[in-house]
A = this chain, B = another copy of it.
Amino acid sequence: MTEAEFIQALRRLPLHAGARGLTDDAAVVAGLVLTTDTLVESVHFLSTDPPADVAWKLVAVSLSDLAAKGARPEGVLLNHPLTDDAWDRAFLSGLAEVLGAYAVPLIGGDTVSLPAGASRVLSLTALGADAPAPPRSGARAGDTLYVTGTVGDAGVGLRIARGEAGPLGLCNRYRRPTPRLAEGRQLAPLVHAMADVSDGVLIDAARMAAASGLAVSLDLAMLPLSRDLQAFSGDNRAARLAAATAGDDYELLFAATADLPLPVPATAIGRFVQGAGLYLYQAGEPVPLPDHLGFEHAGN
């Protein structure tokens, strides 16, 4: 089964009113925003990634979901598999760093052992409070699609982490993403829909459009790319498509009226219109959709 098929099957179970039909990255229960993420060794992180960076990423990706709802982080629960001492101790030091950096306390968790040689699988559940919690499904026809920061950096960073020569700054965007908590707090009360870019701009934009019952058009030429990325990849269509389909950026993607005075820097990259699907352009010229719009999980 693919991830999408599995989630579709989950939708046939009794759902909590706060589950938002499982169309969002976060749920809202009793005023709390809830989100949970699992990182798998050799899938979401490399066995060679420093354990402190794995801890950082585990926390940051859930905080990014809270950011997309405009929530103040309340705390996290950790599901940790014990493996070797050195790894676990380095993980703990990274955990202390990231919790300290964002002033997030630990609420609880579960600690288990793994069979020898098993892949590490770590989960984190984050709680947030005081959230306007704009849904993924709230885009309106005529809205502009915006993204904060630059995209594609983490995708290149993964290549560098795997051994290609390139700037450490890009590698750090992959290993130590920055949840856009302050930006999310300011944007959330103003926007119609918001999500973070975890699986790639194209797939995350397509999901926002589908959840909102709309089509979205997106112009590759408008994608904000960092200078480091342009220096590494060049700036042709292939490089822009790679940036648009790479995951792990954890920028905020949002739908808002075109004339909204933005409280934080962001780039207009597309537009929601009546209809369904994703339409891709480059400087106004239609571009065929790539085979993969972003990262999707599947069974063996």
Q: How far is the CA of A13 from the CA of B85 in the complex (A)?
A: 18
The answer, among B19, B80, B113, for a CB contact under 8 Å with A75, is: B19
Copies in the complex: 2
Q: How far is the CA of A109 from the CA of B103 in the complex (A)?
A: 24
Q: How far is the CA of A44 from the CA of B1 in the complex (A)?
A: 24
Contact between B300 and A83 (Cβ–Cβ < 8 Å)?
yes
Task: Check A219 for interface membership: any CB of B closer than 8 A.
Answer: no
Which residues of the partner chain B approach A79 to less than 8 Å between Cβ atoms?
36-38, 79, 123
Q: How far is the CA of A208 from the CA of B74 in the complex (A)?
A: 28
Which residues of the partner chain B approach A31 to less than 8 Å between Cβ atoms?
30
Q: How far is the CA of A42 from the CA of B117 in the complex (A)?
A: 12
Which residues of the partner chain B approach A41 to less than 8 Å between Cβ atoms?
115
Which residues of the partner chain B approach A110 to less than 8 Å between Cβ atoms?
36-38, 123
- A3 in contact with B111 given A36-B77, A77-B36, A123-B79 (CB within 8 Å): yes
Contact indicator per residue, chain A 18-52, by CB within 8 Å of chain B (1) or not (0): 11001010110111101111111111100000000
Could you list 15 further interchain pairs (A-B, Cβ under 8 angstroms) beyond the known A29-B74, A83-B300?
A: A6-B82, A13-B105, A27-B108, A29-B75, A30-B30, A34-B108, A34-B127, A39-B112, A40-B113, A44-B112, A84-B300, A112-B121, A113-B297, A114-B121, A115-B119
Which A residues lie at the B interface, using CB under 8 A? 1-3, 6-7, 9-10, 12-16, 18-19, 22, 24, 26-27, 29-32, 34-44, 74-75, 77-85, 88-89, 92, 95-96, 99-100, 103-116, 118-119, 121, 123, 125, 127, 129, 297-300
Can you spell out 26 A-B residue pairs with CB atoms less than 8 angstroms apart?
A: A6-B80, A6-B111, A10-B78, A12-B96, A14-B100, A15-B107, A16-B75, A19-B106, A27-B107, A27-B108, A29-B32, A29-B127, A32-B32, A39-B112, A40-B113, A40-B115, A40-B118, A79-B123, A83-B300, A84-B299, A85-B299, A110-B123, A111-B297, A113-B300, A114-B121, A116-B300
